[in-house]
Amino acid sequence: MRTKPKNVTWTDAQWRAITEQGHDLLVAAAAGSGKTAVLVARIIQKLTDPNQQVNIDDLLVVTFTKAAASEMRERIGKALDQCLVAEPNHLFLRRQQGLLGKASIMTLHAFCMSVVKHYYYFLDLDPGFRLLDETEAQLMREEVLEGLLETYYASNDPQFYQLVDRYSGDRSDDALNQLLLRIYEFSMSHPWPEIWLDHLAETYHVASETSLDQCEWLSELKEALAQTINGTVHAMREAVRLCGEPGGPSVYTETLLEELHALEQLQAAAGSEWQVLRAAVLSVSFGKLKPVRGKEVLPQLKDQVKKIRDTIKAKINDLQQQWFARPADECLKDLNDMAPSVDLIIELVKSFTRQYKKEKRRKAVLDFSDLEHECLAVLRAKDSSPEQERPSIVAEQFRSRFQEVMIDEYQDTNRVQEAILQLITKDNRTGGNLFMVGDVKQSIYGFRLAEPGLFREKYKQFSRPDTDGQVIDLSNNFRSRQEIIDGANFLFRQTMDEKVGGVTYDSAAELCFSAKYPEENRPIDLEIINRASTESEPAGDTDDLDSAELEAAAIADRIIAMIGDDGSSPSFQVFDRTRGQMRAIQFRDIAILLRSASTTAAVIKEVLDQRGIPAYAELSKGYFDAVEVSIMLSLLQVIDNPDQDIPLAAVLRSPIIGLHADELAAIRVADRRSGFYQAMKSYLTEGKSKTVQRLFVFLEKLEEWRDFSKNHAVSELIWQIYRDTGYYDYVGGLSGGTQRQANLKAFYDRARQYEKTTFRGLFRFLRFIERMRANGGDLGEARALSEQADVVRIMTIHKSKGLEFPVVFVAGMNKRFNLRDTAEPALLHKDLGFGTKWINPEFRMSSPTLPYLAIKERMKRDAVAEELRILYVAVTRAREKLILIGTVKDALKQVEKCRDTLHQTDWLLPADSRSSASTYFDWLLPSVARHRAAEALHELLEDEPSRTSVFLDQSEWRVQLIPASGLLQSDAEKKQLNQERLQLLKQGKSMSSHSGVQDEVAARLAWTYPHAVAAASMAKQTVTEIKVQQDYFSSGNDDALLSGSERFSAIGHDRPQFLQQSALSATERGTALHLFMQHLDLKKSDTLEQLKEQGTALVAKEIITEAQEQSFDYQAVRAFFDTAIGKKMREATKVIRESPFSLALPTDEVYPAWNKEAAQETVLVQGVIDVMIEDEDGLILLDYKTDHLGRFPTPEAAVAELKQRYTVQIRLYQRAIEQIWKRKVMRAGLYAFDIGCFVDLTKGGTSR
The beta strands (E) that lie in 180-255 are given as none
1092, part of any domain:
no
Q: Give the DSSP letter of residue 321.
A: I
Q: Which of 954, 949, 865, 228 is nearest to 497 (CA)?
A: 865
- For residue 931, what pLDDT is reported? 95
Contact 69, 49 (CB under 8 A): no
- pLDDT tens digits, 1044-1086: 333 333 344 455 555 455 578 888 888 899 999 999 999 888 8
Surface-to-core class of residue 78, CB atoms within 10 Å of its CB (0-12 exposed, 13-18 middle, 19+ buried):
exposed
1095, part of any domain:
no
Instruction: Give the Å distances, CA to CA, from 1212 to 1035, 1144, 1152, 1166, 1203.
Output: 18, 11, 16, 10, 14
Sequence-separated (6 or more) residues with CB below 8 Å from residue 529: 547, 550, 551, 554, 885, 886, 887, 888, 962, 963, 964, 967
Helix (H) or strand (E) holding 739: helix 737-755
989, part of any domain:
no
Per-position b or e across 1132-1171, b if 16+ CB within 10 A of its CB: beebebebebebebebbebbeebeeebeebebebebbbbb
Same domain for 661 and 677, yes or no, is: yes
How many domains does the structure of the chain reveal?
6
205, part of any domain:
no
- For residue 1050, what pLDDT is reported? 39
Strand partners, 69: none
Same domain for 314 and 238, yes or no, is: yes
Sequence-separated (6 or more) residues with CB below 8 Å from residue 267: 226, 229, 230, 233
Angstrom distance (rounded) from CA 852 to CA 834: 8
1081, part of any domain:
no
The residue count of the chain comes to 1248
Greatest CA separation for the chain = 140
- For residue 1098, what pLDDT is reported? 93
Same domain for 354 and 308, yes or no, is: no
Same domain for 92 and 78, yes or no, is: yes
Angstrom distance (rounded) from CA 607 to CA 551: 10
| CB-CB neighbours of 552 under 10 Å | 29
Angstrom distance (rounded) from CA 436 to CA 455: 9
Same domain for 255 and 146, yes or no, is: no
Residue after which a domain boundary falls, among 424, 459, 479? 479
Q: Which of 616, 585, 505, 526 is nearest to 880 (CA)?
A: 585
Long-range contacts for 125-132 (Cβ within 8 Å, ≥24 apart)? 125/361, 125/364, 125/366, 125/374, 126/361, 126/364, 128/364, 129/364, 129/365, 129/366, 130/364, 130/365, 130/366, 131/365, 131/366, 131/367, 131/368, 131/371, 132/360, 132/365, 132/366, 132/367, 132/757
The CATH number for 148's domain is 1.10.274.50
| CB-CB neighbours of 1182 under 10 Å | 24
- Binding residues are 29-36
Q: Which of 250, 249, 235, 300 is nearest to 942 (CA)?
A: 300
Q: Give the DSSP letter of residue 292.
A: P
Residue ranges of alpha helices (H) inside 686-736 are: 690-711, 714-725, 727-732
Same domain for 142 and 244, yes or no, is: no
Sign of CA dihedral 543, 547, 553, 557: positive
Angstrom distance (rounded) from CA 500 to CA 816: 17
- For residue 192, what pLDDT is reported? 94
Strand partners, 808: 591, 882
Sequence-separated (6 or more) residues with CB below 8 Å from residue 799: 618
Same domain for 141 and 124, yes or no, is: no
Sequence-separated (6 or more) residues with CB below 8 Å from residue 495: 501, 505, 868, 908, 909, 914, 923, 927
- R_g of the chain, CA atoms, integer Å: 42
- For residue 1049, what pLDDT is reported? 36
- Binding residues for ATP are 29-36
* Cα separation of the two ends of the chain: 92
The CATH number for 407's domain is 3.40.50.300
Residue 456 C-beta-side C-alpha neighbours within 13 Å: 15
- For residue 1035, what pLDDT is reported? 40
The beta strands (E) that lie in 300-459 are given as 365-366, 404-407, 434-438
Domain that holds residue 543: 524-618+790-803+805-843+850-867+885-921+932-964
875, part of any domain:
no
Same domain for 459 and 583, yes or no, is: no
- For residue 1029, what pLDDT is reported? 42
- For residue 1037, what pLDDT is reported? 39
- pLDDT tens digits, 810-838: 999 999 999 988 888 999 998 899 999 99
- For residue 534, what pLDDT is reported? 57
Q: Give the DSSP letter of residue 320.
A: I
Helix axis angle, 627-640 relative to 714-725, nearest 10°? 110
687, part of any domain:
yes
Number of H helices and E strands in the chain, helices first, is 49, 28
Task: Compute the mean pLDDT over every residue in the chain, rounded to the nearest whole number.
Answer: 87
Low-confidence ranges of the chain (pLDDT < 50): 539-542, 544, 780, 782, 1026-1053, 1059
- For residue 1152, what pLDDT is reported? 66
Same domain for 757 and 636, yes or no, is: yes
- For residue 203, what pLDDT is reported? 87
Long-range contacts for 329-336 (Cβ within 8 Å, ≥24 apart)? 331/212, 331/849, 331/850, 332/206, 332/208, 332/210, 332/212, 334/838, 334/847, 334/849, 335/203, 335/204, 335/206, 335/849, 335/850, 335/851, 336/204, 336/205, 336/206
The beta strands (E) that lie in 482-551 are given as 512-513, 524-530
Angstrom distance (rounded) from CA 652 to CA 1193: 81
Contact 863, 822 (CB under 8 A): yes
Angstrom distance (rounded) from CA 975 to CA 978: 5
The pTM of the full predicted model, rounded to 2 decimals, is 0.76
Instruction: Give the Å distances, CA to CA, from 456 to 462, 501, 756, 857.
Output: 10, 11, 42, 20
Q: Give the DSSP letter of residue 611.
A: T
992, part of any domain:
no
Sequence-separated (6 or more) residues with CB below 8 Å from residue 864: 500, 817, 914, 915, 916, 917
- For residue 1192, what pLDDT is reported? 85
The CATH number for 659's domain is 1.10.486.10
> In sequence order, what DSSP letters do the residues of 1043-1086 get, joined into one string?
-TT---S---PPPPHHHHTSPPPHHHHHHHHHHHHHH--GGG-S
Same domain for 266 and 177, yes or no, is: no
Same domain for 56 and 117, yes or no, is: yes
Angstrom distance (rounded) from CA 1236 to CA 1248: 9
Same domain for 97 and 228, yes or no, is: no
